[in-house]
Every structure is written in C-alpha cells, then in structure tokens.
C-alpha cells in the first residue's frame, strides 16, 4: 500500500520535498501532499516497528537516505542508492548474525553508521579536491 502511494505520487512528493515554495507556486496542494507523506511514513514505521523493532526501523529509514544524499545529487539516484545500502546492510547483517550468533540489529546498524560516515567523508573529500 505504501509503495503504491509513493509510485502514484512520486513526482509531486519529490517536488514538494525539495522545493516547497516552488510546488506551491506550481499549484500543487502541498498541504495534502505533506499529510499523505506523513501518513505513509507513520504506516511504515508502525508496521515496521512491530516486525523488526524501533531501532532498526529508525536506522533503515534515516541512515541510507542520509548517506545517499552525500553520494549522488538526483532524487531517483538517491532512492536507488538508499535502497541498495539498505539491502546490503540487511543481507550483511543477517549473514554475520548467522555466523556469529550476535543480534542482527547490531550488524545492520553498524554497517549503516559506517556507510554514513564514509559517505560524509567522501563528500568532504570531494569538496576539497
């Protein structure tokens, strides 16, 4: 359901997220878009928290997107990089938890934090070179 909403409203949501005044000037109903985004986010968090826990939901919703922001500059690429980082983190975390008997959330969170700081370092390196 959430994915369907994002597929249908992708362009208006992206426009409103990155240029709220521009979206208002273009005649988009920004209040409705904001409410739609917040409701879908709340659905994702509430369903995800019941399944995998609050920390993991927070990590997977924020860190891959923040990392992608440092690596690429277009919204479609940010989405792809964010999903890719999430998938890598989850699969790596599942594998390492299986091998070591440590909690999955620890490995996923650690991977995403390391990826975030590497992305931040990459951005700072690009600015100086």
Whether residues 66 and 76 fall in one domain: yes
Asked if residue 112 has pLDDT above 90, the reply is yes
Asked if residue 90 has pLDDT above 80, the reply is yes
Distance CA 55, CA 26 (A): 38
pTM of the predicted model, to two decimals? 0.70
Whether residues 21 and 84 fall in one domain: no
Distance CA 2, CA 95 (A): 28
Domain interval for residue 12: 1-52
Mean pLDDT, range 27-34, rounded to an integer = 89
Whether residues 37 and 89 fall in one domain: no
Q: Looking at the chain, list the stretches that DSSP marks H as alpha helix, in order from N- to C-terminal side.
A: 2-8, 10-18, 20-25, 30-52, 54-71, 75-100, 104-128
pLDDT tens-digit readout, 40-66: 888 887 887 777 778 888 899 899 999
Whether residues 22 and 58 fall in one domain: no
Q: What percent of the chain has a predicted confidence (pLDDT) above 90?
A: 47
């Amino acid at each position: 359901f959430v994915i369907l909403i994002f597929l249908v409203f992708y362009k208006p949501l992206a426009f409103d997220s990155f240029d709220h005044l521009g979206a208002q000037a273009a005649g988009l109903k920004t209040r409705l878009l904001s409410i739609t985004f917040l409701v879908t986010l709340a659905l994702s968090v509430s369903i995800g928290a019941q399944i995998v826990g609050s920390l993991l939901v927070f990590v997977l919703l924020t860190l891959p997107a923040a990392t992608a922001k440092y690596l690429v500059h277009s919204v479609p690429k940010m989405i792809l990089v964010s999903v890719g980082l999430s998938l890598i983190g989850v699969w790596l975390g599942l594998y390492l938890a299986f091998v070591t008997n440590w909690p999955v959330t620890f490995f996923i969170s650690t991977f995403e934090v390391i990826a975030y700081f590497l992305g931040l370092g990459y951005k700072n390196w690009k600015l100086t070179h």
